[in-house]
Structure 1
């Protein structure tokens, strides 16, 4: 019945979209072309035989898309959440993702900034500014994008220096929570062949979203400064070289989790909170020390520390495109140097039970070379090579004074070398039918050294009140060690057909294989098993779809369906076979996923200035039977962070209002269904569905020289769970929640 309802929903949505496509057309009206680089060259989105969503610079600006998680507002079947507020994003596309918080690992979606791959989760918590667009590619992109793209890829494209003339922009925003943002840009053509572009932004938030009753003060303040300098040189028509240097620094107090207890001292013999058996949280239940948080406010608590976050990062990218006479050479060189550290209170209580200071240093080099050309009128080809070297050093200091009577320290040192060769070709079988194929061979080697020490400053470590009974508990060592290496060679491929039966219509079908490499987890270690390596995962995708734009350009829509065969899935597993539970990354077997993506944009000819966009994602996921270290888990669980339904909508209306002025009003919203947070489908930390609405009103001259705007995000102050960790076997757990309602005004001046 569940599958029948799902299929019925797909059919109904497809019929509705098809009916919209039959709206009457008016002559002479053509929508702007949406250009993407999903296949490593500029193409109309109508010519790309895969599911791509492009978020333009106008949408990024008008909807205040400021960070990674907000991309999901405009893209169906995408879920992006943070493991901790302001920190590492968990990116899931069509149910495929990695629910991890270790900086030594990569997400299942490849993240690229100006074609440079980001090798660590720690590099992905950044703010957006001066972007040309964001592209979201759904489905495995192993041929052109390589390793770690089983879910898809997200490309961030910076606005480049141009030769159209000098221009500048200055924008100031003030919002609630005493937040000030200032952003500026200057584009300067120095000569006919050389241009500069400078961009900068700062965010100063002096009042946080959270209130710490322990210190009677708001927490969650932000202090972020970032800047970008680019130099573009076009010595002739055959060469285009762009050098970009990015830098940012953050010194902030991040958000804190909301506590829930796992113990009830009136319920012997185990003193376990009775509501947990029903998958519910009882706010009267406590931790081992009798603490409970019963005020029902997810944004307040009695935390023992202020979670602090420091970051510094420099990115250097050199991109050159050279016309060699019928063949185009593209070179992309990248270097990243980043440091991160933060102090986090994982027990979310006044006790010093689980507090950590993780640190991360990342140094990454990468180089990609591509040659592309045509062989006759019917065949175009691309051949390339890629190499990267990543060195990630992580450290952690743990404070478990009240829970284990100890403190821990540790480090991990991981070096990854990866090389790949790839080919991609498109052959026109007929004037309307094109055969597409691609192949990529990837080699990767990881060496890993990790140590976690039980510093034991108070004497013998023990788990205080593990069973909530009086008396001493057995000695426990919170330590582990490993020296390991893994070496993998994998093949990714794609085969597909594109059919254009008439103008502005594309039907496509493809089958492709993507790979995510294996690796090591660095986290809270209780024994050497904590560092066991996890194996590569793979995904074979079957996808078919249609894209169409009406003759007048008023309606652009796409419908796609997919089926995934997902193997050796990497996710968190919980080891409950020892006195102290251990969470680590492992492989849990296979899964099947299937679903649909439906997107439509309508600009009615009868109402100039109105744009309507909708997106619908439908998803079914089923995890096969797998053996967790605590026992056998039967077939049928959902994958983590895989909502069955996602929906987004946008309405934008812009019109002259007299006196040389124009006005704009925009409303956008998103719905996401309920999700589980782990492969075990633990109901305690599951997230209910939610709906968010945002709005913006603006006025300015028709010349665009200035604009004044008022905006609001999460207008109805919706509260939903972002992430959760169930440690009730230790007496507690915690949850993270979304940002509350924010609003403010923005004044922008353009020169």
Structure 2
């Protein structure tokens, strides 16, 4: 049984709790006027160390504790040239390169007796000792429980080149065409050390290796973009665009190929001490999308209201997703096709001298096909919508500013809400994130000298909602994660230097 409530989590935290990072980042931008064009160089470098731990199942049982110890660095260089003339043709072109190194150690821990009870109580076996005795073995508990770990090493690099041109056919109409070529090269290795528990590595990772299992793959794509803009008046613009999108393929951190080597269990050593002759890292293919958009931007009531609205349609091919409950690991695979369309709009209106009102709303409708791995291997989810995309969402903000002395009294009321979302395509009743609205109030004084004191109340109505929900899979139960902060009072004091 679970204790606590929607915000007080009843959890075992077998591997502790951590979310700590150290990040070092450098950036350099250099620009040079070529006369008719501007040459810009962008250089970036980031180094990070990251430690994370959580109770993945969210229960007081030792089902699956998770930890991640990660370090890596990333370098990028981009050079672009942008035209700077008054003629009907404007353009930009450039090229970029990146190189990334990343090393991660993943750890998963579980209670040995919980695992034995889950998998074999159906057969009348309620302890690891009973299970081992059935096969004429003796079971010796391990003090730290069942701990499985695996390490991954990624060495990635890639480059891209692009060009885009816009031609004004008249004062009211222009068209733009662009194309980008991208190529990614990824070298990946995965290894898993022996497990001290008598149960073996068959619950979290599913295998051990005698050497790092390595693979190297590359992916590339041309992605064009087309756009047309029409200006019926000085205050309005209509536009339509079509864009090809591409997300590179990659490797999963918890699965290997062929998958048959991850389906063995205790007393079976065919998953132990694997070499590159036995298996290789699991890879997945690129994700591709065509997206189409049409919209309008303009002003009303003499400029008092600014409007931005658009309608869109997209079609994904080979969507990259996590497939839960597959063998001993988590499989990243290309599953199904997704079609979607929606509408988005936002307005800002000046309500007299001291007030302004902002409002934004969105509607989204999606359709998923050929996603059997996400639907217990059936076609029951054909035509279902993406569970984590709300059908409706909206936000609003009423802002007040009144000059007082060398500054102003400022206040605002801000609200955001959305309709219910789900943990996946199956959409069971026990994995629904209900609709909610979050209201916040702020009031205070901001000085022209750069300091301000603002009092606030966040989540005024004390709404309980979550970042998301998972339907679960295999021995992981359905669970909610990221509970909202309760009603919170505070004072924010700031000072901006160098004003």
Q: Give the TM-score of the pair, scaled to structure 1.
A: 0.55
2-structure distance, mates of 1:479, 1:635:
37
The answer (yes or no) to whether the contact 2:346–2:360 under 8 Å persists in 1 is: yes
2-structure distance, mates of 1:699, 1:706:
9
2-structure distance, mates of 1:463, 1:420:
41
Partner of residue 189, structure 2: 449
Question: How far is 1:709 from its partner?
Answer: 1.4
Cα 1:484–1:602 change in 2 (3 A) is same
Partner of residue 218, structure 2: 487
Cα 1:527–1:310 change in 2 (3 A) is farther
2-structure distance, mates of 1:747, 1:459:
57
Cα 1:297–1:540 change in 2 (3 A) is closer
Aligned partner of residue 358 in structure 1, secondary structure: strand
Partner of residue 510, structure 1: 241
Aligned partner of residue 348 in structure 1, secondary structure: coil
Instruction: Answer with 399-408 or 308-317: which moved more.
Output: 399-408
Structure 2: 5+ residue stretches without partners? 116-144, 263-279
Residue number among 23, 34, 39 corresponding to 1:313 in the alignment: 23
1-structure distance, mates of 2:159, 2:495:
46
Cα 1:316–1:590 change in 2 (3 A) is same
Question: How far is 1:583 from its partner?
Answer: 2.9
Question: How far is 1:343 from its partner?
Answer: 2.2
Cα 1:499–1:476 change in 2 (3 A) is closer
Partner of residue 342, structure 2: 595
Aligned partner of residue 717 in structure 1, secondary structure: coil
Cα 1:375–1:664 change in 2 (3 A) is closer
The answer (yes or no) to whether the contact 2:396–2:415 under 8 Å persists in 1 is: yes
Q: Which has the larger radius of gyration?
A: 2
Partner of residue 269, structure 1: none
Question: How far is 1:623 from its partner?
Answer: 0.5
2:388 is aligned with 1:676: no
Q: Give the TM-score of the pair, scaled to structure 2.
A: 0.82
2:487 is aligned with 1:748: no
2-structure distance, mates of 1:383, 1:570:
30
Partner of residue 395, structure 1: 105
What per-residue deviation string (whole Å, max 9, x for no partner) do you get for residues 490-538 of structure 1?
0111111111111021100111111111111214889766952111111
Aligned partner of residue 192 in structure 2, secondary structure: strand
Partner of residue 262, structure 1: none
What per-residue deviation string (whole Å, max 9, x for no partner) do you get for residues 302-343 of structure 1?
424441222111010001111011110011001010010122
The answer (yes or no) to whether the contact 1:451–1:482 under 8 Å persists in 2 is: yes
2:80 is aligned with 1:370: yes
Cα 1:460–1:437 change in 2 (3 A) is same
What per-residue deviation string (whole Å, max 9, x for no partner) do you get for residues 11-65 of structure 1?
xxxxxxxxxxxxxxxxxxxxxxxxxxxxxxxxxxxxxxxxxxxxxxxxxxxxxxx
1-structure distance, mates of 2:459, 2:430:
25
What per-residue deviation string (whole Å, max 9, x for no partner) do you get for residues 60-103 of structure 1?
xxxxxxxxxxxxxxxxxxxxxxxxxxxxxxxxxxxxxxxxxxxx
Cα 1:731–1:654 change in 2 (3 A) is closer
Residue number among 688, 691, 694 corresponding to 2:440 in the alignment: 694
Residue number among 167, 173, 178 corresponding to 1:438 in the alignment: 178
Partner of residue 719, structure 1: 464
Residue number among 559, 568, 575 corresponding to 2:318 in the alignment: 568
Partner of residue 152, structure 1: none
Cα 1:679–1:421 change in 2 (3 A) is farther
Which is richer in strand?
Answer: 2
Partner of residue 522, structure 1: 253
Written as runs of structure 1 = structure 2, the 5 A alignment for 1:282-681 is 292-305=1-14, 306-374=16-84, 377-402=87-112, 403-404=114-115, 406-455=146-195, 457-461=196-200, 477-479=206-208, 482-523=213-254, 531-550=281-300, 552-576=302-326, 578=327, 582-604=329-351, 607-628=352-373, 630-633=376-379, 634-656=381-403, 662-681=408-427
2-structure distance, mates of 1:423, 1:509:
19
1-structure distance, mates of 2:260, 2:441:
51
Question: How far is 1:562 from its partner?
Answer: 0.7
2-structure distance, mates of 1:462, 1:533:
21
Cα 1:302–1:408 change in 2 (3 A) is closer
Cα 1:695–1:610 change in 2 (3 A) is same
Instruction: Answer with 527-536 or 703-712: which moved more.
Output: 527-536
**Over the residues paired in the alignment, what is the CA RMSD in angstroms?**
2.6
What per-residue deviation string (whole Å, max 9, x for no partner) do you get for residues 591-625 of structure 1?
11001111100013xx2021100001110001012
What per-residue deviation string (whole Å, max 9, x for no partner) do you get for residues 115-155 of structure 1?
xxxxxxxxxxxxxxxxxxxxxxxxxxxxxxxxxxxxxxxxx
Cα 1:520–1:528 change in 2 (3 A) is farther
2-structure distance, mates of 1:376, 1:707:
43
1-structure distance, mates of 2:235, 2:297:
8
Partner of residue 133, structure 2: none
Instruction: Answer with 390-399 or 560-569: which moved more.
Output: 390-399
